[in-house]
Amino acid sequence: KAKEMGRNKIRLFDPDLRAQIDRKVRLETDLQQAIERDELMLHYQPQVDLQSGRIVGLEALLRWRHPELGEIAPAEFIPLAEEMGLIMPIGAWVIQEACKQNKAWQQAGFPLIRVAVNLSPKQLNHPGLVDFVAGCLSATALDPACLELEFTESASMDDPNTIIPLMHQLKKLGVSLSIDDFGTGYSNMKYLKNFPIDKLKLDGSFVREITTDPRSLAIADAIIAMSHHLGLKVVAEMTETDAQIMLLIARACDQAQGYYFSKPVPAEQCARLLQMGCLPLPTSGKPVLRTL
């Protein structure tokens, strides 16, 4: 008995676990005020056309600069926000901020660009989403074609009876729709066929191995071919190397996003990328064509 209690005690006071719990409680408390305290910001990562090197889009990625704990990754705080019912105000802030920033770039004279915003599965169930997006577009007078909304594959497939009508309503506003991290969820082709979407984002887990694992390449090839037959564009995520980009070009992938071109950067730095208009594609060597 005493031994058991001792064991429980050890578990209760495990310092790592304690620290994890403390951090979670702290983040949960502080997240509630993060918007008011102006601690949230968006970084932007370019999406590059693989024919021309032109920047054709940006993905807005949320950052939380905690005054004491430093930068917290979205992978850590988005799940907390969802758990705590804070994803609606935070998600709304993201959409609004992305629209405002995009309008500001346009007013500064940059050519029209599309900014993509990630939607959390929880936001999709909120009845006010379509009106909110419409409101942001009209408040900023942003051309709806300049806003893209990224749905996760799993959220879209989970509840297609809700998601398909929602997608149609959003499409009616004129915004562009994409499926994020494609290939990692459990895609149902019957639903995919009926989604009124514009592009698929080929998940980074395939891209990472595309030059080393013929199986990853086979899947990437199949996704690219399927997308094109469905009239969709494909964006490869997490492209980091020359070899990956060259292979994706050889395989007719439309666009790429990743550290190869740029990390996600704050708006001011992004303006400099937009000023350049194009980012360099790999020049040396022949495209790596692999035979399976």
Name the site residues for ligand C2E (rule: CB under 6 A): 45, 61-62, 73-75, 78, 91, 94, 118-120, 180-181, 237-238, 240, 258-259, 264
Least distance CB 88 / ligand C2E (angstroms): 11
Least distance CB 152 / Mg ion (angstroms): 8
Which residues lie below 8 Å from residue 125, measured CB to CB, with a gap of 6+?
Answer: 159, 162
**Overall size of the chain counted in residues:** 292
**Residue 78 binds: one of Mg ion, ligand C2E, none (C-beta under 5 to 8 A by kind):** ligand C2E
Helix (H, G, I), strand (E, B) or coil at 75: helix
Query: Which letter does DSSP use for residue 145 in this model?
Result: G
Least distance CB 148 / ligand C2E (angstroms): 12
Of 154 and 194, nearer to ligand C2E (C-beta) is: 154
Least distance CB 119 / ligand C2E (angstroms): 6
**Residue 94 binds: one of ligand C2E, Mg ion, none (C-beta under 5 to 8 A by kind):** ligand C2E
Token pair in block for residue 39: 């601690």
CA distance 189 to 168: 18
CA distance 279 to 34: 34
Of 182 and 195, nearer to ligand C2E (C-beta) is: 182
**Residue 248 binds: one of Mg ion, ligand C2E, none (C-beta under 5 to 8 A by kind):** none
Least distance CB 37 / Mg ion (angstroms): 25
In the complex, which residues of this chain contact Mg ion (CB under 5 A)? 118, 150, 180-181, 237
* DSSP symbols for 199-236: EEEE-HHHHHTTTT-HHHHHHHHHHHHHHHHTT-EEEE
From 189, 122, 135, select the one nearest 162 (Cα to Cα): 122
Of 91 and 144, nearer to ligand C2E (C-beta) is: 91
